Amino acid sequence: MLESKIKVLICNDHDIVCQGLVNIISCEADLEIVGCAANLSSALTMIRELKPDVVLADIRLGDENGFDLIKQSHRAGFKMPFIMITGFKNEFYVSKAIENGAAGLLSKESPGRVIVNSIRLTFDGNSVWPMELLKNTYNSLSISHYASDTDTNLAVPNFTPREKEIIKFLLKGNTNKAIAHELGLSDVTVKKSLKNIMTKLHVDNRMKLAMVISRLSLD
C-alpha cells in the first residue's frame, strides 16, 4: 500500500516555470502538488490552509522575494523545509538562503530527477546545496578559522576511521540512511557519529558541516 504522498507547494510568479515544475513533480507516485502561488500573500495563505510538507520557492517574486516567505512562515510557526529556486548561480544567494533557514537551493536548469530527489531529501531532514558554490560561500559563515589565508584545504581533526568513511559518503551527497546501509551500521550509530564529527569541527548544524567538509583533505 502506498504511503501518504509528500505534499509540495510551488511559489513562482512565472507561469511557464510553475507549469514545468508541476509537470515534473506530478509524474512521481510519492509526490503531490497541493498548490501554486504567484506571490508572498497567496503563498502564506496556502501554507496555512494546505500545510505542505515541502515548499519550492523562487528567490525573486516580482517586487518580493522567497527569503521573506521563509521568515514569515517561521514566525507563523510553520517549520516545513523550503527549497529556493533561482536562475542565478552566485554565492550571495547561497549565503542568504542559509541565513534565512532554507533547506537548499536549486537552479532553474536543474534536471527533473534532481528536483524530485531534492524534495524527498529535504522532507527526510537533509539539505541540498550546489557544492561548487558552498566552497565559495564558506567564509561568509564566519567559520574560516579552520584555514589560513593561503590554504585551500582545512586542517583535519583527529577523526576515527569510521568518521572518515562517513564524511566521504557525505561528500557524495548520501543521506544518513544510505550511509548506514553502505557501512552496515544502524541509523542511530550514523547520527551519533555525525554529532561527534560536528563537535570536532565546531559547527552546530548540517549546513555548516557540509561547507566545512567540502574543504577537508582526507587521507
| Alpha-carbon distances, residue 103 vs 1, 23, 84, 148 (angstroms) | 29, 23, 8, 29
How far, in Å, CA of 203 to CA of 159, rounded?
A: 15
**pLDDT score recorded for residue 207:** 66
Residue 19 CA, chain-centre distance (Å), reads 22
pLDDT at 134: 59
Rounded to two decimals, what is the model's pTM?
A: 0.64
* 76-103: b (≥16 Cβ within 10 Å) or e: eebebbbbbbbeeeebebbbbbbebbbb
d(CA 134, CA 213): 10
Contact (Cβ atoms closer than 8 angstroms) between residue 156 and residue 218:
yes
Contact between 109 and 118 under an 8 Å Cβ cutoff? The reply is no
Query: Pick from 77, 75, 81: which is nearest to 6 by CA?
Result: 81
Instruction: Give residue 201's pLDDT.
Output: 87
Q: What's the pLDDT at 155?
A: 62
Residue 107 is predicted with a pLDDT of 86
Which H or E run includes 190? helix 187-201
Rounded CA separation 90/74 (Å) = 25
Mean pLDDT of successive 10-residue stretches along the chain, which has 219 residues: 83 90 94 95 96 94 87 93 84 76 88 93 86 54 43 68 88 78 93 91 75 70
Contacts of 108 (CB under 8 A, 6+ apart): 17, 85, 86, 87
- What pLDDT is stored for residue 53 in this prediction? 97
| CA 28 – CA 83 distance, rounded (Å) | 18
